[in-house]
Chains A and B, each alone.
Chain A
Amino acid sequence: MSAIRIVKRQEPLGWSSFFVLVAAIVLSLLLSAVILVIGGTPPVEGITVLFKGAFGSRFAFEDALLKATPIFLCSLGVALAFKLKVWNIGAEGQYALGAVGATWMALSFPNAPAWLLLPAMIAMAVAAGGVWGFIPALLRQKLKTNEIIVTLMMNYIAILFLDYLVYGIWKDPASFGFPMTAEFSEAAIVGRIGATNFSWGLVHCLFLGVLFWVFISFSRIGFEIKASGDNVRAARYAGIPYDRLVMLVMALSGALAGWAGFLEASSTVNRLQPSIMAGYGYTAIVVAWLARLNPLFIGIASFMLAGLRVGVEGLQLDLQVPAAFGGIIEGLILLTVLAGGLFSNYRMVWVRKKT
């Protein structure tokens, strides 16, 4: 008789975990190919079209980066909270309020110059998103509410508030009653870099990503976040102001999602309308976990996931694979990668049992 026993590794797998990741992705692609075959699509061609559509041309690259931007920033936000083991499920709502805040500035000062208006929009977006993150943290620390429930429910409030504005007082009078604000003035739009199609939003992402990394790795608060995330009691014992830390982190988390809302409204949509809510706040949670909360990996994972979503459209157009296939691949990748995490933290041991 022999059996497999699962033993926790003393040291987490180092660079080899990279191979686990690659193996997981390859496995998920193989499974996707099987599904393509079942659906009657030639699998090699299908996967090729998928990758070409996702990363195979400059256009695809630009599209994937553009779509990755809000996912990246929201994901950065939730990752910050997750590092503290505070479960912010509310990036969606914080993103919505960020977009609302930015729009408020853009609509209030249509004649302001860009150098004044854009910072004002960012400030208002960050403040609005931050407050939406701060409230559940306050409730959690003062009233012992569950932040998962509160952030989730506040998403609905935020989205309905956005709807209220767009269907009501902010509705463009020239829109025939359709729900959208007037288009932003030139000054309120974050444009493209030079002659390329890359948005300046990418630079925002780079800046915030580096800032995030420096903050977590080198600042005292960053250290306190990691320490408190590992063990709350020990952190309190060590004199870390845990309550204040939670509130700060949640506010920052919301602020990052709010920034994403600003960029999406300003750079991509150029106005506020209900379809700005595309579920990025929830995708961000998936991305944060795929990337194990590391900002560089978050960048890569959001780009990959965005690319996948872009590529699936090409797959539909060229080979008429149903849209649901995209969701299936996404689910498969998430499943295999997270399951692969088992091999990074545990090892399999063959045990011969004496009978």
Chain B
Amino acid sequence: MRFTKLVAAAVLGVGLCFSQAMAKEMNVGFVYVSPIGDAGWSYAHDMGRQALEKMDGVTTSYVEAVAEGPDSERVMLNMARKGYDVIFATSFGYMDPMLKVAKQFPETIFMHCSGFKTADNMGNYFGRMYQARYLSGMVAGAMTKSNTIGYVAAFPIPEVIRGINAFTLGAQAMNPDVTVRVVWTKTWYDPATEKEAAKSLLDVGADVIAQHQDSPGPQEAAQEKGVYSIGYNSDMSQFAPDAHLTAPIWNWGPFYIETIKQVQAGTWKAGSSWPGLADGIVDLSPMSDMVPKEVQDKVMAKKAAIIAGEKVFVGPIKDQKGMEKVAAGSSMSDGDMLGMTWFVQGVIGTTE
């Protein structure tokens, strides 16, 4: 009898704690792969976090420069143990560690950026960056004189490959003779390596440098050589004022606020969301004055069209060998885009 009473008291106590926790501040943790001072990927996410911090009843914190793999698992475990209610992890390699942690903490909500696995308490999200990449490709294609654009890219994974393909299609829309040369750095954040990679592209005649990297290293290389550049993640014009034409950028704030509102209202459900230009999660930073007015107009017209529902990967699209991958008149499905492992015609480089 006494035992049952004890158990009942304990259950009641735990219940009370929970109801109190509901009324309490909501703790939201972020795991970043690079330092937030990178002006890039993690910086953009951290801007979103800061927007969240301004919400009532929300406290945020983060751990930066967390290596993918076992280190990230430990960081997320510790957040969950410390009672964080929602955890956002913003790099692909955090997916499996997050899944492991999510199974151990069914009460905590987990959100993974850029992956594909989900659980009852783990959703994933990403933005259709390829839409903004297409627009930035249009700018690059219009501005190149050597018809060679250099693209410093991190890892040959679908996200990056999709971006390169969209960028190339955009460039070809303005200039059919353009080729895009890709160099892999195998790192997300390494300013020196990225800058060197950009220089190697300049040496083979590229006169516009684009990047899928988290540091402004490639921008600096372009600035020093006196050629144009396309940034990424955030407006990088301060690092290369004479080179920077525009940048496809992230704007995570509205998405994070919306997610937390859903959690607060109890309507959050694990799923996959992939918003795009129309939702404002990705955008094109203001174009430099160096971009002629008529080019700017064309880009803005295309942007409006994409927001209105136009697709980017519309056939006919051929791969590097000339094989038709998307037939004329049809467009790629989300599934095909998420698993893209081949380059479109006009890209010079391999996906290995």
Contacts and interface: CB of A to CB of B under 8 A. Distances in A.
Contacts of B79: 317
15 contacts: A53-B78, A63-B74, A63-B77, A63-B78, A66-B74, A67-B70, A176-B116, A178-B92, A178-B158, A179-B157, A275-B69, A313-B78, A316-B62, A322-B64, A323-B35
A269 B340 contact: no
Contacts of A176: 116, 158, 338-339
A318 interface: yes
A324 B78 contact: no
Contact of A167 (B35, B67, B156): B156
Contacts of A271: 96
B70 A323 contact: no
A317 B61 contact: yes
A207 B75 CA distance: 29
Interface in B45-86: 61-71, 74-75, 77-79, 81-82
Contact of B70 (A66, A167, A179): A66
Interface of B: 29, 35, 37, 61-71, 74-75, 77-79, 81-82, 92-93, 96, 116, 155-158, 161, 186, 338-341, 352
A317 B78 contact: yes
B64 A323 contact: yes
A342 to B, nearest CB: 33
A186 interface: no
B115 to A, nearest CB: 8
Q: Is chain A's binding surface mostly helix, strand, loop or mixed?
A: helix
A307 B207 CA distance: 48
B75 A320 contact: no
Interface in A63-110: 63, 66-67
Contacts, number: 85
Contacts of A317: 29, 61-63, 75, 78-79, 82
A276 interface: yes
Contact of B69 (A168, A278, A316): A278
A167 B62 contact: no
A32 interface: no
A163 interface: yes
Given A59-B78, A67-B70, A264-B70, 19 more contacts: A53-B78, A59-B81, A63-B74, A67-B74, A176-B116, A178-B158, A179-B155, A268-B69, A269-B70, A273-B93, A274-B155, A274-B186, A313-B74, A316-B64, A317-B61, A317-B75, A323-B64, A323-B65, A323-B66
Interface core residue of A66, A176, A273, A322 (most chain B CB under 10 Å)? A176
B352 A168 contact: yes
Nearest to B84: A317
How large, as a class, is the contact surface on chain A?
A: 20 to 34
A177 B63 contact: no
A290 B186 CA distance: 31
B81 A324 contact: no
B92 A320 contact: no
Interface in A278-333: 278, 310, 313-314, 316-318, 320, 322-324
Contacts of A168: 352
Contacts of B67: 275, 278
Contact of B63 (A66, A275, A313, A324): A313
B333 to A, nearest CB: 13
A343 B56 CA distance: 57
B61 A313 contact: no
